């Protein structure tokens, strides 16, 4: 069985960090845009402090994660040094928040989707890392979850979707409890950068934050702090990538990864692969969004190469890769053995590149940072939640709503608190909306419905919340009486009883509006199909060469 995670003294010796190689990129501002001040200051973690300049260490740890899983499956390492490799794995709790997103209802064949959160940490926890890259003031500091990608494998295993979240996305982070020392991190009182979740008790808090935002049930996480990406890229003989002009990622102030490629397609491996995966300066507008696009492109090529490459037949190479992969992963207990990782790899390999879709969470800027784009972000989350392919292929399967096992009380006995959540980023709240809907409920027989006129919230969608299992049936009964889908009923410790929050989707009228089911992936998700061999990164003219 894999070792438990211990943050602090007594932690096991880890595999070398990818940034131990000394291949780093210059500073950036907090929103992922090119820094206007040369990266002079940076807000670190949740302690409110500002620290001196240091090189940023950004390597695409998610690609290493996928590669690790696929390599494990290819090698069949479940039968090679089984216990040794199991002991390489480090485990931690899956979710350390208070609420869980509901588990999906199985399809007609009894199958359910599989959702895995891939997390890349920027931990500075090795002397080698400090020696090669400097940044003495951040050695041993609070790690940040600077890469976050949700991998969704469909229930029937025919397609796969991936959602990347920009690291400086501002979110409401839930209350989390560190499983090692019991320290409680209270819920954020204002929107906080999502990359700070890792420092609030571990990867389980990052999982809890994703579930709170998306209402998608996450089955597993994989956290990577990874040096072996060089060896892996070398082992498969390189990964083809494309640029539409000569590129050199280096400016006069020393910012950039150092990547230097000629126009067209080049097979990259080793140091060049690392440079590609962390390059911002030189791609498009130099933002983290552009880097994510390049990462998607690399991952798609990587998967194709793994499927087609015969060079992975050498047992010695595979043993080395298996050793590196298991030493670099931290996983939840549900993936805490080589056998479980091997089984997962077999599931992932069922999906062809043609049915794999890479996306970025739709966003909009708030100053230098970003927030989920109203409408489009929820649309993308809903498609994944409802197991609808992002590539638009395949027939949509009617969603089955899960009815609570707890029977509802009589309507007249159900206490319902009604709140006004009609405020949005673009419109003010509708005055008296809570009272109007309270009257509507009273007319339907809910005699104990009361309006909360003191609270005005901002909710994109109308929702019925309940705090504990014994009130789920009551909450579903309220939703059904208003013509709402049961998917609008959510468990939340933010409420003490059945609570209806009237959202911005119901600003007027006495009848809950029918929700249009547009099952198209939003254009703002910047989808990339896994079989697209013609994709090419646009080079910023300031970073080209003759």
Q: Do 334 and 461 lie in a common domain? A: no
- State residue 280's pLDDT score: 86
Burial 403-439 (b: 16+ CB within 10 A, else e): ebebebeebeebebbbbbbbbbeeeebbeebbebbbe
Q: Are residues 302 and 417 in the same domain?
A: no
Select from 244, 359, 236, 242 the least CA-distant residue to 304: 236
Looking at residue 398, the DSSP 8-state letter turns out to be P
Q: Distance (Å, rounded) from C-alpha 465 to C-alpha 417?
A: 10
Residues 186 and 322 in one domain: yes
Is residue 318 included in any domain, yes or no?
A: yes
Any domain includes 219: yes
Q: Which residue has the tokens 């579930």?
A: 211
In a domain, 271, yes or no: yes
CATH number at residue 485: 3.30.70
Residue 295 covered by a domain: yes
Do 434 and 466 lie in one domain? The reply is: yes
Provide, for the chain, the percentages of residues in helix, strand and coil under a 3-state DSSP scheme, each rounded to the nearest 5: 30, 20, 50
* 457 in the same domain as 373: no
What does the pLDDT read at residue 5? 47
Residue 517: inside a domain: no
Residue 364 shares a structural domain with residue 422: no
Q: What is the pLDDT along the chain (546 residues), one digit of tens a residue?
A: 444 444 433 333 333 333 333 333 443 343 344 444 433 333 333 344 444 443 344 444 545 555 555 545 544 444 446 788 888 889 999 999 998 998 888 888 889 999 999 987 765 454 443 432 334 444 456 788 878 899 999 999 999 999 999 888 999 999 999 999 999 999 998 999 999 999 999 999 999 999 999 999 999 999 876 454 555 566 667 889 999 999 999 988 888 889 999 999 999 987 788 788 878 899 998 888 888 888 888 888 887 877 776 455 566 666 766 777 777 788 999 999 988 988 898 898 889 889 999 999 999 999 989 999 988 999 999 999 999 999 988 765 555 677 888 899 999 999 999 999 999 878 999 999 999 999 999 999 999 999 998 888 888 889 999 999 899 999 999 999 999 988 889 988 889 999 999 999 999 999 999 876 778 999 999 999 988 888 999 999 999 998
Residue 221 · residue 209 · CB < 8 Å: no
Look at residue 31 in the predicted model and tell me its pLDDT. 39
Q: Are residues 96 and 146 in the same domain?
A: yes
Query: Does residue 404 form part of some domain?
Result: no
Number of structural domains (the chain) is: 2
Within-domain flag for 306: yes
227, 259: one domain: yes
Residues 339 and 434 in one domain: no
**pTM, 2 dp:** 0.71
Residue 478: which domain range? 411-503
Tokens standing for 509? 């009228």
Contact 341, 141 (CB under 8 A): no
Bridging pattern class, strands 260-261 and 463-466: unpaired
* Residue 324 is assigned to a structural domain of this protein: yes
- The pLDDT score that the predictor gives to residue 47 is 41
Same domain, 262 and 359: yes
CATH number at residue 189: 3.40.630.190
Answer left, alpha or beta for residue 110, where phi above 0 means left and psi between -120 and 50 means alpha.
left
């Amino acid at each position: 069985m894999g070792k438990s995670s211990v943050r602090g003294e007594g932690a096991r010796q880890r595999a070398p960090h990818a940034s131990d190689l000394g291949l780093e990129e210059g500073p950036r501002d907090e929103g992922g845009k090119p820094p206007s001040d040369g990266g002079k200051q940076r807000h670190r973690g949740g302690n409110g402090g500002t620290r001196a300049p240091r090189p940023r260490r950004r390597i695409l740890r998610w690609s290493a994660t996928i590669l690790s899983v696929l390599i494990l499956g290819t090698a069949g390492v479940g039968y090679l040094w089984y216990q040794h490799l199991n002991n390489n794995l480090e485990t931690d709790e899956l979710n350390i928040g208070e609420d869980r997103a509901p588990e999906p209802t199985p399809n007609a064949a009894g199958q359910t989707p599989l959702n895995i959160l891939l997390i890349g940490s920027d931990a500075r926890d090795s002397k080698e890392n400090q020696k090669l890259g400097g940044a003495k003031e951040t050695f041993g500091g609070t790690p940040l979850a600077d890469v976050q990608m949700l991998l969704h494998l469909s229930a029937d295993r025919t397609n796969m979707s991936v959602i990347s979240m920009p690291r400086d996305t501002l979110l409401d982070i839930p209350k989390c409890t560190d499983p090692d020392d019991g320290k409680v991190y209270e819920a954020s009182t204002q929107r906080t950068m999502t990359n700070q979740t890792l420092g609030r008790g571990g990867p389980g808090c990052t999982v809890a934050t994703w579930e709170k935002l998306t209402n998608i049930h996450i089955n597993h996480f994989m956290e990577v702090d990874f040096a072996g990406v060089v060896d892996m890229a070398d082992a498969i003989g390189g990964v083809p990538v494309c640029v539409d002009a000569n590129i050199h990622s280096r400016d006069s102030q020393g910012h950039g990864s150092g990547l230097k490629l000629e126009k067209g397609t080049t097979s990259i491996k080793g140091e060049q692969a690392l440079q590609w995966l962390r390059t911002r300066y030189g791609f498009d507008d130099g933002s983290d969004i552009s880097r994510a696009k390049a990462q998607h492109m690399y991952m798609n090529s990587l998967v194709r190469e793994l499927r087609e490459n015969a060079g992975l037949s050498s047992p010695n190479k595979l043993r080395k890769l298996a050793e590196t992969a298991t030493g670099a992963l931290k996983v939840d207990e549900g993936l805490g053995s080589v056998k479980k990782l091997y089984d997962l790899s077999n599931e992932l390999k069922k999906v062809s590149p043609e049915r794999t879709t890479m996306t970025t969470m739709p966003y909009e800027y708030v100053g230098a940072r970003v927030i989920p784009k109203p409408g489009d972000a929820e649309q993308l989350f809903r498609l994944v939640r409802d197991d609808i392919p992002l590539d638009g292929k395949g027939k949509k399967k009617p969603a089955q709503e899960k009815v609570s096992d707890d029977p509802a009380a009589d309507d007249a006995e159900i206490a319902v608190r009604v709140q006004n959540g009609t405020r949005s980023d673009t419109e003010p709240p509708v005055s008296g909306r809570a009272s109007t809907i309270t009257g509507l409920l009273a007319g339907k027989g809910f005699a104990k419905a009361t309006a909360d006129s003191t609270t005005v919230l901002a909710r994109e969608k109308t929702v019925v919340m309940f705090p504990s299992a014994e009130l789920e049936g009551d909450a579903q009964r309220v939703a059904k009486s208003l013509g709402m889908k049961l998917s609008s009923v959510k468990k939340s410790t933010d409420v003490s009883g059945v609570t209806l929050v009237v959202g911005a989707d119901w600003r007027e009228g006495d009848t809950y509006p029918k929700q249009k089911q547009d099952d198209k992936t939003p254009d703002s998700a910047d989808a990339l199909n896994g079989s697209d061999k013609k994709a090419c990164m646009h080079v910023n003219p300031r970073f080209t060469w003759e």
